[in-house]
Each structure stands twice: as structure tokens, then as C-alpha cells.
């Protein structure tokens, strides 16, 4: 079990983070606190003005309670217009379920995500396999609105709910020689039909990796929710990585293993097509993909008759926060 302070509160008593952290003031101002409690527990339908006919993925009760208590992080969030829910959850790359953008939503709904465990291994002092519910005990979730830029030159703006990857890694006490962090997606051909195909280009399971300073950067998020609810299976339930200054394929889904190592780990797309997909995969409008330009992107929703084409920003608009990580590196070579 991970060391953490569980919250002995009922779902009806969960309050926004700002009130929770001011416990004494909350007790004194019970009436005001009760009003905020009701606001904090408002459904995602009301908070985001979503149509009640849109399919929701509620997730287990214990996770929903934490999601309702999540605070908002304006420090890290963009004020750009959100991508509509139906695009965020209906236009996905998750090759374990198929090659089409609609395949994940159509084929992933049977994915069993509770209970869920994550193995922590490699250069850490506290390795082991932990249940997701235990990992999240004592963790304050927060909403962060990030830009997502796909290597295929389309993009979204998504309200994720999660917590910094750095907070989790610190709990396992990385060793001094841990220089990289590798992540592995679930491999289960019975639940993931594309893994049964003989004609796939990816050697399953899907794996990704970050340099340690990238993993510890405060922007790097482990997400468990989107649009105020639990992640749908097609979006990487129940636990996925979000690294907003990198192309979307770096933000690995349905994580079952986190491994710290001294050597740079192999990653799925880099191993499959190294001339097209580098290890770093930082968003860079000056470095084209061999088969298309990266200077612009389609911000969804976008269509043939109503295109929404915008300029791509270096590091996806997060250069002020992360460019120093790559000082002195040739970003055409280390793409």
C-alpha cells in the first residue's frame, strides 16, 4: 500500500480543494461551506453545459468522489475554447482497438478498468504493484485545460483532471541513477482486438518514455478524468499520461507499468519508424514530418467546408515553461 492520508469523508461531505485546505474556516462558516459543497458536487453536465444525451463514462464511485472534489489549476491552464466533448471522446488514436478514429469509441466500451493495478519497477527504492485506488489516496486532483497536438497535424483543447507525475514518482523514491521513465500500456488481446491482428505494425504492448527532467516537470500530468468525469476507455482509462508540449502519441494510455531506468528506453513509434518518430517528439513547426508539414494544424472541430486551420506553436505553446529543458540540443537531430 502507498503511504498517503486517506480522507474519512462521505461523498456528500466532499468540498472543493480551496475549502478543504482551510478546514478551520470551513467549520466556522458551515453555511457558506455547504453552498460550495453543492457547487463542487454539481454534475459535469451542468458544469460544462453538456447535452444530457451525450454518453458519459462515470467510472467507479470512489473515483467519482475524488473527481467531484477536484480543484482548478489556472496557473497551468489555457483560456482557449474547449474542444466539444463529442470530439474529445469520439475522435481518438488508440490502435489497440483499431486504426480508425471512431474505432476506439466503438470497440473499447467493454474494457475493464476497475480494479486496476500499476507496477512500479526499476531504479526506485519502493518498487511494487499498487492498486489505482491506493495510488490516489491522499492525492488532490485538479483540472488542467491543455492543448493537445497530434503528430498527424490536428489538435484539441481538453479539460483533463489528474495530478502531477512528479508527485507520484517522489513517493517511490527514485534512485540517483534513474535518468528515464518508461510507461507500458495494457496488453490484453481478449479486450483489445487489434492486438490479435497478424498485420499490425506495432510490437505490443505499447511503450513510451520520458527523460527524468521531463517526467518531473510540473506540466506533466497523470490524468484520470476528462470533462469532470472519469476517463472513457477510448481516452485511456483509467490512467493516462498527458505531456502537453509533445505530440500526442507520447501521452500513453491505460498505463499498467512505470519503470525507471538509467538507459533511454525503447518506445513503440520510434522503434517502428525511427526516421519519422523520434524519442523526444516535441511539437516543432520548423521540423516537418517526412510526409507532411507540421507548420499548421486542424483545430477540431474542423471540416472540408469549414476548416479551422491555425499555426502550430513551438512546444505547442509551452515554450516559456519547457524550452530550457533542451538548451544546447539540436532539435532537428533530437526530434
24-70 pLDDT tens trace: 333 333 233 333 333 333 455 567 777 655 667 888 999 999 999 99
- Higher-pLDDT residue of 21 and 310 is 310
- Mean pLDDT of the 156-160 span: 98
* Look-up of cell digits 477510448: 234
Which has the closest alpha carbon to 103: 192, 201, 223? 192
Given a contact cutoff of 8 angstroms between Cβ atoms, the answer to whether 151 and 248 are in contact is yes
User: What's the pLDDT at 198?
Assistant: 87
User: What's the pLDDT at 68?
Assistant: 92
Show the cell assigned to 129.
504493484
Residue 331: pLDDT over 80: yes
Strands 71-72 and 142-149: parallel
Q: Where are the beta strands (DSSP E) in 186-263?
A: 207-211, 221-226, 229-230, 240-242, 255-261
Give strand pairing partners of 115.
none
Which has the closest alpha carbon to 216: 171, 264, 166? 166
Residue 84: pLDDT over 90: yes
- Higher-pLDDT residue of 305 and 192 is 192
Angle 155-156-162 from CA coordinates, rounded to 5°: 125
Show the cell assigned to 200.
499490425
CA distances from 45 to 49, 77, 119, 228 (A): 6, 21, 34, 9
* Look-up of cell digits 508540449: 245
User: What's the pLDDT at 41?
Assistant: 37
Q: Residue 300: CB partners within 8 Å, gap ≥ 6?
A: 83, 87, 91, 154, 155, 156, 308
Q: How high does pLDDT run on average in the chain?
A: 88
pLDDT tens, position by position, 209-259: 999 999 999 999 999 999 999 999 999 999 999 999 999 999 999 999 999
Residue 21: pLDDT over 60: no
CA distances from 318 to 145, 181, 325 (A): 13, 21, 12
Given a contact cutoff of 8 angstroms between Cβ atoms, the answer to whether 7 and 140 are in contact is no
Residue 100: pLDDT over 80: yes
Helix (H/G/I), strand (E/B), else coil: 328: coil
What CA–CA distance (Å, rounded) separates 221 from 117? 18
User: What's the pLDDT at 10?
Assistant: 41
What CA–CA distance (Å, rounded) separates 15 from 19? 6
Given a contact cutoff of 8 angstroms between Cβ atoms, the answer to whether 316 and 283 are in contact is yes
pTM across the whole model: 0.86
Given a contact cutoff of 8 angstroms between Cβ atoms, the answer to whether 57 and 229 are in contact is yes
User: What's the pLDDT at 215?
Assistant: 98
Given a contact cutoff of 8 angstroms between Cβ atoms, the answer to whether 239 and 116 are in contact is yes
Amino acid at each position: 500500500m502507498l503511504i498517503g492520508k486517506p480522507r474519512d469523508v462521505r461523498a456528500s461531505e466532499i468540498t472543493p480543494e480551496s475549502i478543504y485546505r482551510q478546514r478551520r474556516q470551513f467549520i466556522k462558516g458551515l453555511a457558506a461551506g455547504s453552498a460550495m459543497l453543492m457547487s463542487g458536487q454539481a454534475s459535469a453536465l451542468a458544469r460544462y453545459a453538456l447535452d444530457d444525451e451525450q454518453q458519459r463514462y462515470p467510472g467507479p464511485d470512489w473515483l467519482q468522489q475524488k473527481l467531484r472534489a477536484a480543484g482548478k489549476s489556472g496557473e497551468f491552464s489555457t483560456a482557449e475554447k474547449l474542444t466539444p466533448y463529442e470530439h474529445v471522446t469520439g475522435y481518438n488514436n488508440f490502435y489497440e482497438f483499431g486504426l480508425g478514429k471512431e474505432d476506439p469509441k466503438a470497440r473499447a466500451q467493454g474494457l475493464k478498468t476497475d480494479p486496476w493495478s500499476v507496477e512500479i519497477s526499476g531504479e526506485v527504492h519502493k518498487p511494487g504493484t499498487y492498486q489505482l485506488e491506493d495510488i490516489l489516496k491522499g492525492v488532490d486532483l485538479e483540472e488542467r485545460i491543455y492543448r493537445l497536438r497530434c503528430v498527424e497535424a490536428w489538435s484539441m483543447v481538453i479539460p483533463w483532471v489528474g495530478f502531477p507525475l512528479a508527485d507520484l514518482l517522489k513517493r517511490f523514491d527514485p534512485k540517483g541513477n534513474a535518468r528515464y521513465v518508461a510507461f507500458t500500456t495494457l496488453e490484453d488481446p481478449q479486450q483489445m482486438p487489434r492486438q490479435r491482428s497478424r498485420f499490425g505494425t506495432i510490437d505490443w504492448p505499447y511503450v513510451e518514455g520520458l527523460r527524468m527532467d521531463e517526467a518531473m516537470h510540473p506540466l506533466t500530468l497523470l490524468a484520470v478524468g476528462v470533462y469532470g468525469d472519469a476517463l472513457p476507455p477510448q481516452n485511456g482509462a483509467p490512467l493516462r499520461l498527458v505531456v502537453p508540449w509533445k505530440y500526442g502519441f507520447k501521452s500513453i494510455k491505460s498505463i499498467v507499468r512505470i519503470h525507471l531506468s538509467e538507459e533511454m528506453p525503447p518506445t513503440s513509434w520510434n522503434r517502428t519508424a525511427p526516421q519519422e518518430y523520434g524519442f523526444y517528439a516535441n511539437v516543432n513547426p520548423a521540423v516537418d514530418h517526412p510526409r507532411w508539414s507540421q507548420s499548421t494544424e486542424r483545430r477540431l472541430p474542423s471540416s472540408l467546408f469549414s476548416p479551422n486551420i491555425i499555426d502550430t506553436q513551438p512546444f505547442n505553446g509551452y515554450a516559456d515553461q519547457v524550452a530550457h529543458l533542451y538548451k544546447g540540443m539540436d532539435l532537428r537531430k533530437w526530434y
